[in-house]
Amino acid sequence: MPSFSSSLSCPTYRSCTSSAPFFSNHHSSSLINGDLRRSLSFLSSSPQKLNLDELTCVRSQRKSLQSSVVVQDGAVATKSSSAEELKLTIPSLEEDKVAIESDGGGNQSTVSITVVGASGDLAKKKIFPALFALYYEGCLPEHFTIFGYARSKMTDGELRDMVSKTLTCRIDKRANCGEKIEEFLKRCFYHTGQYDSQEHFVALDKKLKEHEGGRISNRLFYLSIPPNIFVDAVKCASSSASSIKGWTRVIVEKPFGRDSQTSAALTKSLKQYLEEDQIFRIDHYLGKELVENLSVLRFSNLIFEPLWSRQYIRNVQFIFSEDFGTEGRGGYFDNYGIIRDIMQNHLLQILALFAMETPVSLDAEDIRNEKVKVLRSMRPIQLEDVVIGQYKSQTTGGVTYPGYTDDKTVPKGSLTPTFAAAALFIDNARWDGVPFLMKAGKALNTRSTEIRVQFRHVPGNLYNRNSGSDLDRTTNELVIRVQPNEAIYLKINNKVPGLGMRLDRSNLNLLYSTRYSKEIPDAYERLLLDAIEGERRLFIRSDELDAAWALFTPLLKELEEKKTIPESYPYGSRGPVGAHYLAAKHKVQWGDLSHDQ
């Protein structure tokens, strides 16, 4: 990966974007053919337009495909495809070189990352640490600069002090950590400015140019600011600080509106200044390792995909629990509530990935097309299929935990739900009649996110007599524990060793911490790297967003218009009992509450 400082372990296949091979080492011939076709048509259509990264990518892909392609006089064919079909001419490596060198800024490009809202919580907690982790792993380009931008007055030194307090090295990567931190901080700068001031963004642009040193500049803006100022900042960044020769991309944080109408208005405003392919709407759950693994699990293991339908699956559960309240974020939260904060985005995105049909390829557009189809096939959510709750104060062990409305930033008497459970349905051939249950709550007894797949009963099971009376509890269950203690386990029935015939439930367990020694990267690392590389697969396209809001907006409106009173539950409990009744109505038992979770 020549354009990246790859002295450490940034995985090389990542440098390729839309045509990235699926696996770094082993390619199935069909994937190779698909990737190769895309590379070839991409190359033959506009070789003169390739930038350095694209050329680098194609070159490295060409290398990795050497064993399966026949290259003759600039024409390429796969061994398994007809030469006629693939008679496409691609530029030779020499021609690539000319293309790079004639590209104005010499043979190197640079990436400038501006964290807008750099003084804030998310920037400190997630963005700067993720950028450092990428730097440590050798995943950032050789030439990069990071700028913090916010209204707070700070010098470069003060920003570096602030950032340095949040940086840590992975447990398995401590070598030269201090040195790496120092090197990284030297690449971080700060610019004070208002979010709606063209003048201040012009000044930022000037500083960026100084750092870019005449190279082809690619610019990434991360909007880590409250949503009411997204459009101001985008307007100024795009008109006064976007790149002239390279790309300009903007990562937009949630919330993307409060409902269909406000979301559409936000999209419309953003599109006044940006093309859709410049907008990277982030849902950090899509960057989590086990969410990313969902498609691998399903599409690369023969044993799962044939079972992935109403024929074998009884219900699917998406469960998000936090063991802390809205402490410190009550002001934001009260305007949104748990349905908008977690369900409409994080859980729904996971559901769409879980339930989609096999995409044509792993290209971003193919995957997002399938996700949209799932979302658009979903039945409108009925109020009677929803339970909402709000936590109240609880004293245990002499400690008093505050109720939601005890938070000073929350209006007294607020009806905003901090817990919700819902039953959703996908009205298509694969999933007809299968309840997809969601449950999300703050201030519960545990912190965890899981996907639970409960399979149907074994027809004519010879061992029913040995399994106890609750047959639902003896069906197979596949659990994907997204966090913490990442794991995938399958509950099976097993004979207890001995002379008798007693069955018990056991787990076939893939616990990541015992299987893999490498620390799991934070979701923001993956997503930032994807944005830098132009990989859109894990970002939300505007039609996905529209479909997601279309599903939830009528429900949210009804809850608000009817002033539905949330059921209260004590801080640190398992949530309101209404969630059990909802599940029971759909003949489901929550998997996370069973005795053998």
Ligand X SMILES: NC(=O)C1=CN([C@@H]2O[C@H](COP(=O)(O)OP(=O)(O)OC[C@H]3O[C@@H](n4cnc5c(N)ncnc54)[C@H](OP(=O)(O)O)[C@@H]3O)[C@@H](O)[C@H]2O)C=CC1
Ligand Y SMILES: O=C1O[C@H](COP(=O)(O)O)[C@@H](O)[C@H](O)[C@H]1O
C-beta of 408 vs 595, nearer to ligand X: 408
C-beta of 219 vs 284, nearer to ligand Y: 284
Give the span between the Cα atoms of 148 and 187, in whole angstroms.
Answer: 11
Q: Does 544 bind ligand Y (CB under 6 A)?
A: no
Task: Residue 420: name its binding partner from ligand X, ligand Y, none (Cβ under 5 to 8 Å by kind).
Answer: none
Task: Residue 338: name its binding partner from ligand Y, ligand X, none (Cβ under 5 to 8 Å by kind).
Answer: none
Distance of CA 179 to the CA centre of its chain: 30
Cα angle for residues 180, 182, 187 (degrees, 5° grid): 95
Following DSSP, what letter does each residue of 275-306 receive, concatenated? -GGGEEEE-GGGGSHHHHHHHHHHHS-TTTGG
Buried residues in 319-351 as b, exposed as e (16+ CB within 10 A): bbbbeebbeeebeebbebbbbbbbbbbbbbbbb
Per annotation, catalytic residue among 191, 200, 346, 457: 346
Following DSSP, what letter does each residue of 109-145 receive, concatenated? EEEEEEEETTTSHHIIIIIHHHHHHHHHTT-SBSSEE
Residue nearest to ligand Y (CB): 341
CB of 528 within 8 A of CB of 134? Answer: yes
C-beta of 123 vs 451, nearer to ligand X: 123
CB of 461 to ligand Y, least distance (A): 38
Q: Which helix (H) or strand (E) holds 428?
A: none
C-beta of 121 vs 427, nearer to ligand X: 121
CB of 444 to ligand Y, least distance (A): 12
C-beta of 128 vs 189, nearer to ligand Y: 128
CB of 439 to ligand Y, least distance (A): 14
Task: Residue 140: name its binding partner from ligand Y, ligand X, none (Cβ under 5 to 8 Å by kind).
Answer: none
Q: Which of residues 424-463 bind ligand X (CB under 6 A)?
A: none
**Options 97, 151, 298, 310; binder of ligand X; rule CB under 6 A:** 151
Task: Residue 253: name its binding partner from ligand Y, ligand X, none (Cβ under 5 to 8 Å by kind).
Answer: ligand X
Cα angle for residues 208, 214, 216 (degrees, 5° grid): 85
For the chain, the straight-line distance linking the first and the last C-alpha, in angstroms and rounded, comes to 44
CB of 451 to ligand Y, least distance (A): 14
Give the span between the Cα atoms of 253 and 279, in whole angstroms.
Answer: 10
Catalytic site includes residue 346: yes
Task: Tell me the chain's radius of gyration from C-alpha atoms.
Answer: 26
Total chain residues near ligand X (CB under 6 A): 18
Q: Does 150 bind ligand X (CB under 6 A)?
A: yes
**Options 51, 110, 119, 405; binder of ligand X; rule CB under 6 A:** 119
SS3 16: coil
Q: Which helix (H) or strand (E) holds 175?
A: none
Extract the tokens encoding 164.
């340095």
C-beta of 341 vs 544, nearer to ligand Y: 341
CB of 343 to ligand X, least distance (A): 14
CB of 18 to ligand X, least distance (A): 27
CB of 522 to ligand Y, least distance (A): 9
Distances (CA, A) of 532 to 17, 201, 246, 502, 557: 10, 21, 12, 56, 37
The DSSP symbol for 426 reads B
C-beta of 147 vs 401, nearer to ligand Y: 401
Residue nearest to ligand X (CB): 120
| Window 206-225: contact mask with ligand X (x via CB under 6 A) | ------------------xx
Give the span between the Cα atoms of 54 and 103, in whole angstroms.
Answer: 13
Following DSSP, what letter does each residue of 225-274 receive, concatenated? S-GGGHHHHHHHHHHHS--SSS-EEEEEPSP--SSHHHHHHHHHHHHHHS
Nearest one of 148, 324, 317 to 222, comparing CA atoms: 148
Task: Residue 120: name its binding partner from ligand Y, ligand X, none (Cβ under 5 to 8 Å by kind).
Answer: ligand X
Give the span between the Cα atoms of 65 and 71, in whole angstroms.
Answer: 10
**Options 53, 341, 486, 544; binder of ligand Y; rule CB under 6 A:** 341
Extract the tokens encoding 35.
């990737």
Of 148-156, 238-246, 302-310, 373-381, the segment contacting ligand X by CB under 6 A is: 148-156
C-beta of 231 vs 316, nearer to ligand X: 231
CB of 493 within 8 A of CB of 475? Answer: no
SS3 578: helix
Strand order in the sheet with 539-540: 188-192, 144-150, 109-116, 216-223, 248-252, 279-282, 539-540
Q: Does 152 bind ligand X (CB under 6 A)?
A: yes
Task: Residue 341: name its binding partner from ligand X, ligand Y, none (Cβ under 5 to 8 Å by kind).
Answer: ligand Y
**Options 122, 297, 415, 593; binder of ligand X; rule CB under 6 A:** 122
CB of 272 to ligand X, least distance (A): 20
C-beta of 334 vs 341, nearer to ligand Y: 341
Total chain residues near ligand Y (CB under 6 A): 3
Q: Which of residues 274-333 bind ligand Y (CB under 6 A)?
A: 284, 322
CB of 574 within 8 A of CB of 362? Answer: no
C-beta of 143 vs 284, nearer to ligand Y: 284
CB of 253 to ligand Y, least distance (A): 9
Q: Which of residues 222-281 bind ligand X (CB under 6 A)?
A: 224-227, 229, 253-255
Q: Does 117 bind ligand X (CB under 6 A)?
A: yes
CB of 497 to ligand Y, least distance (A): 39
Q: Does 253 bind ligand Y (CB under 6 A)?
A: no
Contacts with ligand X by CB under 6 A lie at: 117, 119-123, 150-152, 195, 224-227, 229, 253-255
Contacts with ligand Y by CB under 6 A lie at: 284, 322, 341
Active site residues: 346
